[in-house]
Amino acid sequence: MPIRRSLLAAPAAAVLALPLLVSTAAGSSFAGDGAPSAESGLRPPDKQSVVTGSGGAVSSVNPYASQAGIEVLRQGGNAVDAAVATAAALGVVEPYSAGIGGGGYFVSYDAATKRVRTIDGRETAPARMRADSFVDPSTGKPIPFDEAVNSGLSVGVPGTPATWEKALDDWGTLSPAKALRPATRLAADGFVVNEEFRAQTRLNEERFRDFTSTAELFLPNGELPVVGTRFRNPGLARTYRELARDGADAMYRGDIGRDVVKTVKNPPVAPEADRVVRSGLMERADLADYRTVERAPTRTTYRGLDVYSMAPSSSGGTTVGEALNILENYRLSPTDRVQSLHTYLEASRIAFADRNRWVGDPRFSDVPTAGLLSKDFAKGRSCLIRSDATLTSPLAPADPRRPDAGCTPGIGSSEPYEGPSTTHLVTADRWGNVVSYTLTIEQTGGSAITVPGRGFLLNNELTDFDFTPLTEGVPDPNLPGPGKRPRSSMSPTIVLQNGKPLIAVGSPGGSTIITTVLQTLVNRVDLGMSLPEAVAAPRISQRNRTTTDAEPAFLDSTERSALEAIGQRFVLAPSTFTPAPEIGAVAALEFTGKGQVTAVAEPRRRGGGSAMVVRPRG
């Protein structure tokens, strides 16, 4: 059935017009001396959270990044070219969330063939990684998590440069040099530091100070970046120029990769640091052996729509898809929001129980993707949901190869850790091509280790593996292993209506990515909200836990007490890696007919995102 296409009016653009300062400090950075710039001044692009128009669209968490994508679209590039340009710019202005030191998942709709295609650019474990690599041999217990994160041991082989090259070679129209040009210029010229960048630096300050290369870049002169100053990253500009000239080989067989391996094996620990920093297992052969994987997307139907997303090694597509299949057995209505939200929470709880048991890297585990997305399996699982009571977590998984067993309750394992950072972008072009792309370096600030002179942080993605089996005696598909991809929750999603793109959506947020995408779709399709309303609405995230994470606005709502009367229990969402207790940061778009597209970004979360179109309406 068609869904309602009403749209909110776009808010007035908020322009951050701050005086710029200059710096002559070597290596990077920003000016901290308070002297006005003699230059004609770099100014941030205007920032809007909702805009409708034609000719193509971009939405991301940052206006500089969205502008890079729009620049490419205006020069005749397609949605794939724009996605790479936007992602590269995010590596400059959102370096704590993404960059060439990490990986991600690229989902693309091709208008000519009417097909959805995906690239698995997830990081891989080095060949020397073993199932017990995160276990201390002297104690037989997992090493402290903080010790694992801030180490070379947590660094997976980056997949982002290979993803960009694969996407451009197969589906783009521009060379890497042209696609990277806006980001290279941005890294060299600098950008205006905003409150979000400073706040995220402050959150990471203690560990950043423990690595000399990171402190030099992000804490120049030993200070936090000042809001309104210019931040330059000449090392990253140089790195991008090498990628533009030599392609991804610069990472996988060239000098960039040499510097990565050297840093992983010998992290540049500050002399005064007192933390234990373990060296990593990566060798240059691991880089040379890295390959992206072009996978078939996940697909399910929901209320007459076709929902495509990322297959394992990500758990995003299967878990969002299973939850939607469960929800399809119920009528969700804006006239009964309490019951609709209760059903949404229970469907998510069930889907996460199955996700934790079954999803891993399909090269190493028999992942029952088709079973997890089976309508029969979802129907069997849906019988667990009661309108007047809440399921007990951790709920036991069911076997998707036996749909008739889905209604048996039981006690399962707790949710494993997954870093809450990452970033997401969506693009569309004038020909109807669409990209939904999520990329990451894991938690905010990644491993905290910057490759000296290269301007980018290394990921800590290998902490997404389970350090030890979740349940004794039960196979765990997400233990470390050589060449293995750790399970992810990234859920870049494209929704088709009658074979044509309708919505593209995704989010950062670790395991809350899944619930953020799921709740946004439920808000839009079932609860009568426009896409901007669906993105802005307060979020709640149930991931097979005894309590549900909730944003402050939900905790202040009337629905909270009604849901608690049923048995739901809520806690304030954590703010460990963001300045505020938030869940996700959506970037989305919707085709609204007659060649028009509405780009939507967060109005407030993470300081507000940036939606742009090539030709704004009216």
Q: What is the DSSP letter of 403?
A: G
Q: How far is CA 112 from the centre of its chain?
A: 28
Rounded (to 5) percent helix, strand, coil in the chain: 35, 20, 45
Q: Are 122 and 315 in contact (CB under 8 A)?
A: no
Q: Of the listed 300, 422, 444, 463, which one is catalytic?
A: 422
Q: What are phi and psi of 236, to 5 degrees?
A: -70, -35
422 is catalytic: yes
- To the nearest 10°, report the CA torsion of 182, 184, 186, 189: -130
Token readout for 124 is: 């891989």
CA distances from 237 to 93, 434, 481, 572 (A): 12, 28, 34, 40
Instruction: Show Cβ contacts of residue 312 under 8 Å, excluding neighbours closer than 6 positions.
Output: 318, 359, 360, 361, 362, 367, 369, 487
CB atoms within 10 A of CB 284: 15
Establish how many alpha carbons lie within 13 A of residue 338's alpha carbon, considering only the half-sphere containing its beta carbon: 16
CB atoms within 10 A of CB 38: 8
Sign of CA pseudo-dihedral 295, 461, 414, 526: negative
Token readout for 396 is: 């036991």
Give per-residue burial for 405-435: e unless 16+ CB within 10 Å, then b: ebeeeeebbebbbbbbbbbbbbbbbbebbbb
Instruction: Show Cβ contacts of residue 192 under 8 Å, excluding neighbours closer than 6 positions.
Output: 16, 18, 20, 42, 43, 44, 228, 229, 230, 231
Q: Are 575 and 199 in contact (CB under 8 A)?
A: no
- Positions annotated as catalytic residues are 422
